[in-house]
């Protein structure tokens, strides 16, 4: 017998890939919601809206200060005990919720830094030609902030895809959960986990390639 059961691994690939859509769907939903929430939090921080600013700081502190796994268990196992209507929540919803809140806390800070980083004199120039605050944000500040924020936000997205594997601890059969089940059936743990590792790795490399292309396009205006 060889060291690696290659036939088993090749046979496992299509089985595991059939769970990939769920993994990607959770990450995509988490990313869209986290981005929306993070933009809101960043604007609150930039404009220092009284009251909301303090609440935002507390939110960011908590969700950056505690492990994602603790947060997921808190939502899935903990909260339903105190809020009875949450018994309806499934593992997938709880995972998306956890990913959204956890990553929005990190993303809010990078978006805020990107907005603040846009050269102040361009803001004055936009005001001097009679733009309103909204026009200046939309046409001058946000496009430039996006360019600065994209690399970090893409990194968070990559992190988030890997973090969906924690959903299996809430009983969700996604990519990781499926691997676990297959391995338990065949006892070929090494083959199973090296296969799933390669699948995650491949997705992340694909995204990193997209990220480089996107950054190249966004940097067009800044090449000398």
Q: Which residues contact other proteins (rule: CB under 8 A)? A: 119, 121-122, 124-132, 135, 139-140, 143-144, 147, 220-224
Residue 113 CB, shortest distance to other proteins, in Å, is: 17
Structure tokens at 28: 């995509």
Residue 159 CB, shortest distance to other proteins, in Å, is: 28
C-alpha angle 42-44-48 in degrees, rounded to nearest 5: 120
Closer of 9 and 214 to other proteins (Cβ): 214
Residue 115 CB, shortest distance to other proteins, in Å, is: 14
Residues 123/46, Cβ–Cβ less than 8 Å: no
Closer of 82 and 129 to other proteins (Cβ): 129
Closer of 100 and 144 to other proteins (Cβ): 144
Structure tokens at 147: 């360019």
Neighbours of 12 (CB within 10 A): 22
Closer of 53 and 146 to other proteins (Cβ): 146
Closer of 143 and 171 to other proteins (Cβ): 143
Residue 17 CB, shortest distance to other proteins, in Å, is: 40
> What Rg do the C-alpha atoms of the chain give, in angstroms?
21
Among the listed residues 117, 131, 94, 119, the one whose alpha carbon sits nearest the alpha carbon of residue 42:
117
Distances (CA, A) of 26 to 73, 143, 147, 157, 185: 17, 27, 25, 11, 26
Residues 106/37, Cβ–Cβ less than 8 Å: no
């Amino acid at each position: 017998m060889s060291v690696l059961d290659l036939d088993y691994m090749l046979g496992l690939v299509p089985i595991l890939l059939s769970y990939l859509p769920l993994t990607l769907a959770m990450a995509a939903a988490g990313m869209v919601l986290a981005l929306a929430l993070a933009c809101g939090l960043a604007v609150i921080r930039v404009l220092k809206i009284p009251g909301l600013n303090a609440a935002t700081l507390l939110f960011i502190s908590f969700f950056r200060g505690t492990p994602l796994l603790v947060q997921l268990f808190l939502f899935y196992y903990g909260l339903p005990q105190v809020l009875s209507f949450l018994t309806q929540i499934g593992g997938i919803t709880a995972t998306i919720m956890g990913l959204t809140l956890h990553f929005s806390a990190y993303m809010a800070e990078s978006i805020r830094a990107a907005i603040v980083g846009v050269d102040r004199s361009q803001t004055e120039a936009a005001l001097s030609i009679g733009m309103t605050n909204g026009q200046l944000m939309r046409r001058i500040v946000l496009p430039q902030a996006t360019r600065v924020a994209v690399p970090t936000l893409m990194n968070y997205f990559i992190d988030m895809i890997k973090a969906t594997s924690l959903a299996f601890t809430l009983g969700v059969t996604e990519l990781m959960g499926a691997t676990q089940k297959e391995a338990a059936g065949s006892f070929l743990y090494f083959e199973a986990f090296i296969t799933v590792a390669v699948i995650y790795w491949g997705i992340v490399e694909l995204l990193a390639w997209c990220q480089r292309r996107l950054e190249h396009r966004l940097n067009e205006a800044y090449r000398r």
